[in-house]
Structures are given as structure tokens and as C-alpha cells.
């Protein structure tokens, strides 16, 4: 059947979709979510069918195509294309198999990941895959195959160095910006650490958002490699690279239900590390009731799985189970966190000691993994000598930034102090409210917005003494954040 | 935030969706599949967010809206609307709960069904619900609640009669057009039988397609009631009515994976019967390797479930497990089946005896359910007296058709005979190939297209004797159907 292209001027955000008029669809016996092949100038693309019931949108004889199809087949409005019925992708059968509780083979997982990466699956089909892996949990074997398939169907940073260090903190804790301390320390010690980080999704800042206060974070993989070869390290946004791209597509359909299938979490983390040639990976698992990992049992199970997968991928993996019950560091929000980092690296008395302590512990563990003795002492030396700070400046410059004094980092110009209404010991800080208030104040969109904490759990506080300050660029946002702060118990003092 | 409406001139096919520019979305901290409320002239509608990455499709300051939103809020292009962030529907939490293997309560199931009917869920969210019910099979209790919720959130035909008879055949068998025989018999016997039927989805004809050869089948519920009050019975298309509308939306996301969650199958059938006030329901479960129900164990389990649910809904349910290994009746395709029915009701020697035998057995069972003795004899009397035929003519007329002789029904003008290449006994007829050939020939789109069978399993056939004829309106389609018939073993003779 020959049809005339109508550019419907909208993107599907991934899947290749074409819209047929209901009469043409009936002629070919096609239903919504069936497949057709579109042929044009020797190029062929298989797309998912949607059907227009009204003749207004897509008249008979025409085919409405989404942005992704236009690009893939280099179509123009009114081009005439040839349409034939296509089989469903093989991976549909494999997804059904997993939904039926069966184990998938290497080829099956590989086909599914290929189809995900190449936008061959509709959102509904991909959702079945996620739901299947969530309810019929993948075996370790399957998770390893998923990890490998994710790496295979994406770009790879080949470094040919040993060791290549990496770290990952499982999210949910405000602050906790350890990467920005660990990368300069380990690279100053002479090791390679090509770190990719994420932006915030539901938190006030991701590591990439915070680094962006100091330097660019969006690079193609070739530039990233240049930076790493020059300075040994980098802190770039993983989202702009094409590392394990299946992962981002999976996460997109996990969001609506806030699902976190364990096998996908594991595969996702390990695939991204594997893609940048990491050999030694430290995983930080903060445990707390508002963290991603709620209790120690869950954390231990995750640790076991990480170790198994690490071994099978020929990587050294060490999992640290850490305290996730309160924010780590004083600043929450990109600029406030970046200022903390510079203070810490410059050994300023205002530096957050809890974050420093955690980074020291993590670096010691990394040294331990690569077989270097006296790691703790070594880390402290690198920090105190100013070498870590120098390295950070080097990386910032390599990423297009320039050296800046902590005090010169722009913090939101409106602020509001919240003080304690009683004297006593800080018993609890509510992570969820800290995050929410910082976000309402504008973080991470407004780099300068966020919260600065003066107290942590266990600290003594007097009535009327400041607990935290909210910063914002907008009076309006600040007012709203203030209301939330006042009407909820963010700090429990008793 | 105030935004200017852009009618993007496309329908989502259900869910209420609006597209924001990525910059506006960032301002409100919105992600794909989040919710917003759109306010216009005192009307408010909650919709699912999609995000346009390019400024071309939806520029900053504008909001692209799908057809469904345009209609719901009576919007016009360039209208200015007010946008606020909305919470996710409550049912998202319940869907997650089911996915986590927990049992749902009455209120939770009710909320999910309400949200489905009112297009509050995105396709991805609805898919999670279907996947959850498929992997974590619903209890009988939950299935009953689902059935009731489906009925509640849809239209209902209140008849206030007793008994009200209904029947349902679980699909997969070519032909098997029992409804068109049973409705005239039971209504001729003085009982009410307000029958709603489906159109074909993957078969050569649904009962509604076949009835449409003789009369109209698309009516609003009020007209359906008038017809039933006048003639006691009807055979109308259920799809045009708003009976248990959640069901159709669920089926739409089941199609891509060809999933058939048992709880949904049960709830779907029982809800549609419940919606038309049926009190006595006969369920025909054909068993065969190409049927929906593959084996006797599955059939018996289904029977048990139907009986349990029937009891709980205060309905008399009887389940018949029947032979689903070969087509039933001679004609396959709307017109060919309609001709069979008229021959059968008119007691013509050309009538299909296998279909007649099955209908006699089913009617006897219905008589048995309502406590009438000598059901078989009674059925035969009604048929032979011509009362069933007279009743059928009455119903056809009430539905806007007119009396027509079987011979005057238009059959596809092109035909091709397939004869046996050997002598022997017909051992097997392949249901799937019979359906496929009839569909390729044009059924159900071309009413006259299909297959006419001269032989059934067990019949003796001589070499060169006709097995079946393919009919089509199009030479081209017939050629293609012919090829499939010739290159596959549709009949096994030996």
C-alpha cells in the first residue's frame, strides 16, 4: 500500500510510531500497536501503528509520522512511502516468557535490549518487561546477561589502564556529594577515575548538577576520553553520553509507579561502570527509612548480589553499608554543595566534617581494594597537602571551568533562617522534608537555591539557635518553602 | 502558570494527555507522565504530561493538547489556560500494591476501575495493572469486586424481568455462531434474552459482524431496551454500548503481548452479562489446541471459577465444556454464516447439522437451568414449528433489517474450490488456517468473503471431491488466500 507522508510534528520521546487512517488500517487488518514496515528510497524502518479515528488528523491515503520516524527515514512532508505488514519483534515473545515466570537466555536478553535501544518497543511493551522483571525477579545469571547486553548496545570508553577506579552511591540522601571529593583525591594519588554522574530526578541536586556550578559537564565521549587522558579524572554528566542507553529508557517507564526492580538497579549501575572500563568499584549503600534501601537486610542482600555480579564481570567490587538516616554535608542544592566541596578541599574551617569523614573512609576502602596500605593516612595527606584541591582545579579547567573561591560561588539572594523552638539534642532530621524544601526553593533548577544546615543529629542546640537557612532566587518560592518548613517538623529536638 | 493552547490535532485513543515545552516543564519540575490540572472557565481536568524537547512542536508558553482534552474542556486553539501541578491518582498506589503481590480491597479496585473508565491512567500505568493481575493472579474475591466495579462504572440495562437469559462462548473457533440460533429459540419460548455480542478482533467474523448482514447492530442503550421490550430479544454490538467500558481499555493493552489474564477474562464476561440484568447464564467453553482454552484441566478450573463468581453475584451459571477442535457450521465469514443460520432456522436441508446439534444441546441446558422439563424436545418443536424463524424475522425487523431469503444473501463473487488430493476420512481441520484464509479473503471487512466447508472431521471424502470453497470480493485477495490454502494442510485426510 502506498501512502503520502504527513509530518504530524510531534515526537514520541523514543518509540518509532506512525498513524494510519482507520480505513487504511482496516484494509491491512491492522490494530493499534501492530507493526508495519515503511519503505522509502531503499531504506526500511519497522514502526508501531497508531490509528486515527477521525479523518481530520490523518486522512485516508496518508500516514502520519512522528519526529523519530521522520529522522530515521529522512522523510519529508508529502513523500510517498510503501507500507507492508511486519511481524512483531521477537523480543515480545521473550517478554511474555519472562512474564510467565520463565528464565531468559543470553540471546533473548540481548534481543530485548537491542530492541529497547533501537526504539523498537512501544511503551506498553517495555512496561511489560519492567513489570515482568519486577514480579519475577531475575536470577543473578540473568542480571549479568542484562548488564552485558546493556554495555554491548551502547558506547564504551576504552581506557586500557589499570586500575580504573569508580564509585557509586545509591541515592535518596540529601547532600552526600562524595564523588566531588573522592575523584580529586584518587586522581591526585595517580589513579584513573573517569566518573560519570547523574543529574537530579527527584532530589535537590545530582552530582552532575553540583559539578556544573564549577565547570561544564556535558561532553561527547571522545572529549571525555581526552579529559581523562589529560587529568586522569573527570566528573561529567552520564546522560549526555550513550553509555548503556537501554537503562534510561527503562527508568522512564519505572518512574510512574516509582518501581525499582532490583535486577535493573544492579544491571544499571554495573553496566554504566563497565562501559567506562572500571576495574575497581566502590558502592555506597546508605540505609535509612527514607533512603532507597530501607533496612540492613535489604542492604546485605544487595551487597551479596553486587559481589556476585562483580566477580562474574571480572571486577573488584566492595560494598559499604553506610548511615542514610540524615543529610550528609551542610549544603543541600547545587551551589551550596559546590561551596562545601571547595571548603573541604581547601581545608577551610567551615568545611562539613561529616562529609569529610565519609570521604576519608571511602577512599581508605578504595586504597584497600587496589592493595595500597595506610589508605586513611594517605588520603588525609593528599587532602592536607592541597594536592586534591590542585587536582580539582585541574579537572575543572579541563572541563571548561575556572578556579573560583568558595566565597565567590553565587548563593540564592533571598534567605530565611529557621531556628529551634526549644533547647536540647537534635534527635532526627527528616531527609524527605529537607529535599522537598530545597526543591521548592528552586533546586536544582536555580543553582543557588537550597538549604544550609548548621546542625546534624547528635548536636546540642539552644532555643532560638539557627537550625538551617533556606536560600532562593525567588521571593515567591522562598515564601512557599518557608511555609512548608514552618508547618512540618524538619528537625526533631528533644 | 498560564499557557496558550495549541491543538496538536491528534488523538491519544483514550488517556488525557497534554504536551509542555521542556522549559516550562522544568519550571514546574514536571517529568513525562507526571500530572497537571488544566483549568479553563471553571472546568478542571487532570491530564498526563508529555514533554516536547524541540521548541518547534510546542514552543515555550504554549501547551499542546490531544483531542480528548480539547473535547473534555471544550478548548479552542489559542485559549489561555491555567496550569497547576496535580497529585498522581490514588489508583497508582493500588496498582503498585497489586504488583507487590498484595490483595486489593473493594475501594481500591473501585478506584482503579473508575480511573480506567475516566481515562485518568496512562497506557504505561494501565499496563502495570494488567501485568500485576497476570502475574499475581487475583483471588475469586478480587475478581468479583472487579466485576462489580466494571458494572458500576458503566451503563446498565435495567429490565426488571425474570428470568433473563444470556450465553457466552469463549472464542477461538471458526463459525460457532450459536447465538443467532439460541436467541430466536429462547425468545420464541417466551423468555427475555438481551444479547450483546462482539465484533471480530482476530477471527473471520464476530456474532455482531454476522448479524450485521441481516440487520443493524449499533444502537444506544435506550433503543436496545425498546427492542428487547418489544421482541423480548436482540442481537446487538456490545462495543457501541457503554457496558463495563473499563474492559475494552484493558483489552487494548493486553493485545500487544496477547495476554489473557484469567481474572480479567472472568470479570469481563460476567460484568457484561451483569450489566444487562442477566439472571441465567450459559457459558460455552470450547477446548482445543487452537482455542483460547487449550485443555480440559484449564477448562475445569475456569468452570469452577465461573460457578463461584456466579453464586456470589446471585446468578445461575452453567458451564459447558465443548469440542473446540474443528470449525462449527459450514460457513465461515459474516454472509456465509448468516446464510447458514437462515437455512437452519428455516429447516432447509442445506443447514449445518453440527451447529444445529450444538444449539439444541445448549438450549436444553438453558431450559434445564430455568427448571423447564423436556428442554431438548421443546427446542426441536420451536425450531420445527417455524416459531424460531418467525422470531428471528421479528428481531431483524426491530433492528432495522428486513426479511431476506438465505439464497439472496450476497456471497463474494469470486470463488475457488479446494478438493481433496486423496480418498479417506477427514482426520483434522486446522482452525488457525481456516481463520487465516477467510481473513485473507477479506472477512470480516468484506461481508461476503470467507470459506464454505463441505466436510467435517469424521466425514468420508473421495479423491477430487470438494473440501471447501473460498469466496472473496477481490481477485487479488482470493489469489493470496488460494496460495495459503494450497501451501498448507488445512484438511488432514487419511
Cell triple for residue B287?
Answer: 477446548
Interface contact B67-A88, CB threshold 8 A = no
Interface contact A252-B8, CB threshold 8 A = no
CB contact at 8 A, A181 and A343: no
Q: Which of A54, A99, A101 sits opposite B131 (nearest CB)?
A: A99
Query: Is the pTM above the cut of 0.90?
Result: no
Q: Is B345 left (phi over 0), alpha (psi -120 to 50) or beta?
A: alpha
Interface contact B131-A136, CB threshold 8 A = no
CB contact at 8 A, B10 and A11: no
Angle at which helix A296-312 crosses helix A140-152, to 10 degrees, equals: 60
d(CA B237, CA A363): 70
- The predicted model gives A192-221 an average pLDDT of 94
pLDDT, tens only, B273-312: 999 999 999 999 999 988 889 999 999 999 999 999 999 9
Measure A452 CA to nearest chain B CA, in Å.
21
Q: What angle do CA A193, A195, A198 make, to 5 degrees?
A: 165
d(CA A147, CA A321): 23
Cell triple for residue B6?
Answer: 495549541
Burial-class residue B347 by CB neighbours within 10 Å (0-12, 13-18, 19+). middle
User: Could you say which of A7, A260, A348, A459 is catalytic?
Assistant: A260
Alpha carbon distances (Å) from B137 to B99, B143, B310, B357, B410: 10, 9, 19, 36, 46
pLDDT, tens only, A1-45: 899 999 887 777 788 999 999 888 877 778 788 889 999 988 999
Name the residue in chain A with its Cα closest to that of B99.
A135
- The predicted model gives B162-170 an average pLDDT of 96
Contacts of B192 (CB under 8 A, 6+ apart): B159, B161, B163, B164, B165, B228, B232, B233
Q: Which of B11, B201, B255 sits opposite A53 (nearest CB)?
A: B11
Interface contact A253-B32, CB threshold 8 A = no
pLDDT, tens only, B209-264: 999 999 999 999 999 999 999 999 999 999 889 898 998 889 888 888 888 778 88
d(CA B278, CA B167): 9
Probe site for chain A from B101, B120, B131, B447 (most A CB atoms < 10 A): B131
User: Could you say which of B7, B155, B248, B260 is catalytic?
Assistant: B260
pLDDT at A251: 85
pLDDT at A313: 93
Active site residue B166: no
CA A301 from chain centre, in angstroms, equals 22
Q: Is B220 left (phi over 0), alpha (psi -120 to 50) or beta?
A: beta
Measure A126 CA to nearest chain B CA, in Å.
9
Interface contact B259-A445, CB threshold 8 A = no
Q: Which residue has the cell 418489544?
A: B230
Quickly list DSSP for B270-320. HHHHHHTT-SEEEEEEEE-TTSSB-SHHHHHHHHHHHHHHHHHTT-EEEEE
Q: Which residue has the cell 482470493?
A: B478
Residues of B in contact with A51 (CB under 8 A): 13
Strand (E) or helix (H) holding A109: helix A106-117
For residue B325, which of B361, B282, B368, B296 has the smallest C-alpha distance? Answer: B296
Name the residue in chain A with its Cα closest to that of B256.
A33
Interface contact A128-B8, CB threshold 8 A = no
pLDDT, tens only, A35-87: 899 999 889 999 999 888 778 778 999 999 988 899 989 999 999 999 988 88
pLDDT at B447: 96
Residues of A in contact with B201 (CB under 8 A): 31
- The predicted model gives B406-435 an average pLDDT of 96
pLDDT, tens only, B135-160: 998 999 999 999 999 999 999 999 99
**In chain B, what are the domains?**
2-86 (2.40.40.20), 91-136 (no CATH), 165-241+263-398 (3.40.1030.10), 411-493 (3.90.1170.30)
d(CA B121, CA A107): 34
Q: Which of A26, A134, A253 sits opposite B445 (nearest CB)?
A: A26
Residues of B in contact with A201 (CB under 8 A): 31
pLDDT at A382: 98
Q: What angle do CA A121, A127, A132 make, to 5 degrees?
A: 115
**Residue A201 above 80 pLDDT?**
no
Which percentage of chain A shows pLDDT scores above 90? 77
The mean pLDDT of chain A is 93
| A vs B: CB pairs below 8 A | 125
pLDDT, tens only, A113-124: 999 998 889 899
**Residue B10 above 80 pLDDT?**
no
Region of poorest pLDDT, from A114-118, A307-311, B87-91: B87-91
Interface contact A124-B123, CB threshold 8 A = yes
Which percentage of chain B shows pLDDT scores above 90? 77
Interface contact A257-B125, CB threshold 8 A = yes
Name the residue in chain A with its Cα closest to that of B91.
A257
d(CA A209, CA A201): 11
pLDDT, tens only, B64-83: 998 889 998 999 999 999 99
Amino acid at each position: 500500500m502506498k501512502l503520502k507522508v504527513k509530518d504530524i510534528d510531534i515526537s514520541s520521546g523514543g518509540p518509532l510510531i506512525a498513524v494510519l487512517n482507520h480505513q487504511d488500517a482496516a484494509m491491512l487488518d491492522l490494530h493499534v500497536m501492530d507493526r508495519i514496515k515503511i519503505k522509502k528510497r531503499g531504506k526500511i524502518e519497522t514502526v508501531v501503528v497508531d490509528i486515527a479515528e477521525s479523518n481530520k488528523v490523518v486522512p485516508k491515503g496518508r500516514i502520519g509520522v512522528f519526529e523519530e520516524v521522520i529522522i530515521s527515514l529522512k522523510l519529508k512532508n508529502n513523500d510517498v512511502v510503501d507500507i507492508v505488514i511486519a511481524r512483531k519483534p521477537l523480543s515480545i515473545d521473550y517478554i511474555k516468557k519472562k512474564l510467565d515466570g520463565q528464565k531468559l537466555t543470553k540471546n533473548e536478553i540481548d534481543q530485548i535490549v537491542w530492541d529497547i535501544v533501537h526504539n523498537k518497543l512501544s511503551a506498553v511493551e517495555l512496561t511489560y518487561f519492567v513489570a515482568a522483571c519486577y514480579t519475577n525477579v531475575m536470577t543473578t545469571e540473568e542480571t549479568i546477561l542484562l548488564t552485558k547486553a546493556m554495555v554491548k548496545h551502547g558506547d564504551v570508553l576504552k581506557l586500557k589502564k589499570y586500575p580504573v577506579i569508580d564509585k557509586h552511591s545509591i541515592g535518596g540522601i540529601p547532600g552526600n556529594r562524595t564523588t566531588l571529593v573522592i575523584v580529586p583525591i584518587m586522581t591526585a594519588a595517580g589513579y584513573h577515575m573517569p566518573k560519570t554522574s547523574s543529574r537530579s530526578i527527584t532530589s535537590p541536586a545530582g552530582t552532575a548538577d553540583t559539578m556544573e556550578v564549577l565547570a561544564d559537564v556535558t561532553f561527547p565521549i571522545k572529549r571525555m576520553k581526552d579529559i581523562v587522558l589529560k587529568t586522569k579524572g573527570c566528573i561529567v554528566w552520564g546522560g549526555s553520553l550513550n553509555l548503556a542507553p537501554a537503562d534510561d529508557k527503562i527508568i522512564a517507564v519505572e518512574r510512574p509507579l516509582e518501581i525499582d526492580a532490583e535486577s535493573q538497579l544492579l544491571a544499571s549501575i554495573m553496566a554504566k561502570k563497565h562501559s567506562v572500563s572500571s576495574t575497581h568499584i566502590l558502592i555506597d549503600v546508605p540505609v535509612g527509612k527514607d533512603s532507597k534501601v530501607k533496612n540492613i537486610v535489604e542492604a546485605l542482600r544487595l551487597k551479596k548480589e553486587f559481589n556476585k555480579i562483580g566477580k562474574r564481570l571480572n571486577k573488584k567490587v566492595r560494598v559499604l553499608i553506610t548511615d542514610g538516616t540524615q543529610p550528609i554535608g551542610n549544603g543541600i542544592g547545587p551551589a551550596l554543595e559546590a561551596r562545601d566541596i571547595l571548603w573541604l578541599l581547601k581545608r577551610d574551617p567551615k568545611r562539613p566534617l561529616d562529609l569529610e569523614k565519609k570521604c576519608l573512609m571511602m577512599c581508605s576502602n578504595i586504597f584497600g581494594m587496589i592493595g595500597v596500605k595506610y589508605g586513611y593516612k594517605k588520603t588525609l595527606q593528599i587532602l592536607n597537602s592541597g594536592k586534591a584541591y590542585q587536582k580539582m582545579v585541574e579537572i575543572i579547567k579541563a572541563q571548561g571551568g575556572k578556579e573560583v573561591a568558595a566565597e565567590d560561588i553565587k548563593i540564592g539572594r533571598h534567605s530565611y533562617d529557621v531556628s529551634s523552638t526549644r533547647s536540647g539534642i537534635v534527635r532526627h532530621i527528616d531527609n524527605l522534608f529537607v529535599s522537598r524544601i530545597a526543591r521548592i526553593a528552586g533546586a536544582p533548577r536555580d543553582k543557588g537555591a537550597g538549604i544550609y544546615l548548621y546542625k546534624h543529629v547528635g548536636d546540642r542546640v539552644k532555643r532560638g539557635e539557627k537550625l538551617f537557612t533556606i536560600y532562593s532566587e525567588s521571593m515567591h518560592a522562598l515564601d512557599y518553602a518557608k511555609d512548608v518548613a514552618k508547618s512540618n517538623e524538619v528537625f526533631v529536638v528533644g
